[in-house]
Copies of this chain bind each other. A is one copy, B any other.
Amino acid sequence: MRLDETARGVFVISVTPFDDRGALDLSGTDRLVDFYLAAGVDGITILGIMGEAPKLAQDEAVAFARRAIARAAGRPVVVGVSAPGFASMAALTKAVMDLGAAGVMIAPPGGLKGDDGIVGYFESCVEAIGADVPFVLQDYPLANGLHIPVPAIERVVAACPSCVVLKHEDWPGLDKLTALRAREAAGLRRLSVLVGNGGLFLPHELSRGADGAMSGYAFPEMLVEVCRLAAAGRQSEAHDVFDRHLPLVRYEGQPGLGLAVRKYVLAKRGALASDAQRKPAARLSRETVAEIELLLARLAAATEAGASPLRAAGRS
């Protein structure tokens, strides 16, 4: 199974499980993957920024990818291979594609200069990883400070046939999404657009033409449900479901702190044995934990009141 421009739905951004001493928790990977699959995701993206990828040695990254791919039972697994150099990127790509990954994801470095710099970078990536490996272009200026204008995306699409998905996390990004879809209507090769940035604008982005989400919110079943409702033309219900979660989505979206929040909730939900992160890592203060608990209690009450279809999945 190869990633292509028909990718739709939720490719959940997976965390990476560690034990309390910071060792990779390989057996915990099974539980985590099962949790994601039970939530109804269409695919899994591992070793992204929120997957603590840079904190893993390469052999650890490969070991984790092997386990996740094996457990995903045929669901596509996309692997983040962003690296400061092409040697590491190529080596990791080869390893994970040999293991059965569906494709890879690449975030460009922040210092690229102009559209030429951006297009040249992705051309070099393709040269390094091979033109046969489908890849996700990650557009995430909040993380790397790089603005990628629509004309640069167009040029990457033209220059790199293996670019098949855009992970859209520009902020603000709604009109950018619309502009890209307009270019496609005018003849540009179509990309799958899966949105990130914590899913903060998911229902609006689906209305603007996104195909789904590549995000890692701790209740992935909400992302699945919103995508399902939107695809069925039930916009209003999609917003209803989303808005009940928005207080926590916003709280999880705090830069630097968000991953600790997400892992705390995933651990509480049983998806992780430990919420440990490798250093450098934000720690949850006592007050932060209390706020998360408050938000979880309010979410539970709201979904109860709303007779939410999430209840079952939320407790799976």
In the complex, what distance in Å separates the CA atom of A291 from the CA atom of B288?
Answer: 32
Q: Which of A29-37, A67-75, A170-178, A216-224 contacts B (4 or more CB under 8 A)?
A: A170-178
Q: Is the CB of A171 within 8 A of B56?
A: no
* A287 (CB) vs chain B CBs: closest residue: B178
Q: Is the CB of B115 within 8 A of A149?
A: yes
Which of B88, B113, B151, B285 sits near A57, CB closer than 8 Å? B88
Report the copy number of this chain in the oligomer: 4
In the complex, what distance in Å separates the CA atom of A257 from the CA atom of B278?
Answer: 36
In the complex, what distance in Å separates the CA atom of A174 from the CA atom of B287?
Answer: 9
Report if A255 contacts B (CB, 8 A): yes
* A249 (CB) vs chain B CBs: closest residue: B250
Task: Known contacts A174-B287, A257-B172; decide if A278 and B87 are in contact (CB<8 Å).
Answer: yes
Chain B residue numbers with a CB within 8 Å of A288 are 174-175
Q: Is the interface of A mostly helix, strand, loop or mixed?
A: helix
Q: Is the CB of A250 within 8 A of B246?
A: yes
4 other A-B residue contacts (CB within 8 Å) besides A57-B91, A124-B279, A243-B298: A55-B85, A114-B149, A174-B291, A204-B291
Q: Which residues of A contact B (CB under 8 A)?
A: 52, 54-58, 60, 83-88, 91, 113-116, 120-121, 124, 127-128, 147, 149, 151-152, 171-172, 174-175, 178, 200-201, 204, 207-208, 239, 243, 246-247, 250-251, 254-257, 278-280, 285, 287-288, 291, 294, 298
